[in-house]
Amino acid sequence: MAENGSVLSILDEYQHFLMELDTWFRSIRVKYGSSMQCGKGCTYCCCGLFDVPIADALRVAAGFQSLSPSTRETVARCARSLHAGLIRESPELEEPFFLDRISETRIDRLADRFDDVRCPFLATDGDCHVYEFRPSACILEGIPMVDVQDGPFDDWCEFNFTGGVAREVESDLRLDYSEIEATIQRFSQNLAEQLPSLPQKETTVFIPSIIVAFESFWRDLVRE
Ligand code: SF4
């Protein structure tokens, strides 16, 4: 990862924050295991195109960097093929492909258009090649989201809690999703302040785009 001490300490803190989310998710899985399919072999959450904030993008780039050369090439080949389709649909995207140039509606449409593609990091045996570096969205994916203010969101993984979520379960699933989003954004902003080549405004980037632009953009930010 970059030599900048402040960047390292922000990323350490961010990792700590993600580990807390992961610990919470695991505790739910232990308590409600019979209602959940999440676990090794289930890759349902790993299909579809989704965008990640800067803090996650840096970790994903570091994860890609950590792979063996042959795995990196396999992942890159898959990402290039997927990304070629993405650029055909959205030629206005320019390297390093941050999404601040296109509207939320357009991002959602692109995600819908590519909702059946496999994540380039998904291995053939169902493992995630960058599990230790996976984005925040991957950590919380699959569980019915119940927000402290807005209550339950409408949809969640069709393999989990198939009979619905009982009231008493809702209280266990409750998280402050606005606060989580704000925290991730705060980490992203702090990182952008330390790394001037990153966009200084709130933005996201698709996972395959990070891989495609790794050599030209991300490698310098995550070099040892
Ligand atoms: S980064 Fe890993 S956990 Fe996240 S979608 Fe890709 S393969 Fe799945």
- pLDDT tens across 149-162, in order? 999 987 889 999 99
119 lines ligand 1 (CB under 6 A): yes
Residue 169 domain boundaries: 5-219
- Flag whether pLDDT at 3 surpasses 70: no
In this prediction, residue 56 carries a pLDDT of: 98
pTM, two decimals, is 0.94
Mutation test residue for ligand 1: of 128, 136, 210, the one with most atoms within 8 Å of CB: 128
In this prediction, residue 159 carries a pLDDT of: 92
What band does 2 get if pLDDT is binned at 50, 70 and 90?
low
Count of H-run helices and E-run strands, the chain: 9, 5
Mean pLDDT for the chain overall: 93
122 lines ligand 1 (CB under 6 A): yes
Within-domain flag for 224: no
Of 111, 146, 106, 109, nearest in space to 24 by CA? 146
Contacts of 93 (CB under 8 A, 6+ apart): 86, 87, 99, 101, 102, 209
121 lines ligand 1 (CB under 6 A): yes
138 lines ligand 1 (CB under 6 A): yes
* Mean pLDDT to the nearest integer, 207-212: 98
In this prediction, residue 51 carries a pLDDT of: 94
In this prediction, residue 39 carries a pLDDT of: 84
- Flag whether pLDDT at 96 surpasses 60: yes
In this prediction, residue 47 carries a pLDDT of: 93
Within-domain flag for 147: yes
* Mean pLDDT to the nearest integer, 168-189: 96
Within-domain flag for 175: yes
Lowest mean per-residue pLDDT among 1-10, 103-112, 177-186: 1-10
134 lines ligand 1 (CB under 6 A): yes
Mutation test residue for ligand 1: of 46, 67, 78, 143, the one with most atoms within 8 Å of CB: 46
Within-domain flag for 81: yes
In this prediction, residue 5 carries a pLDDT of: 82
Q: In the structure encoding, which two tokens stand for residue 208, read together? A: 């395959």
Number of domains in the chain: 1
Which residue intervals of the chain are DSSP H helices?
5-31, 54-66, 69-89, 104-113, 136-140, 167-173, 177-194, 207-212, 219-222
What band does 121 get if pLDDT is binned at 50, 70 and 90?
very high
28 lines ligand 1 (CB under 6 A): no
- Flag whether pLDDT at 224 surpasses 80: no
Q: How far away, in angstroms, is 130 Cα from ligand 1 center?
A: 7
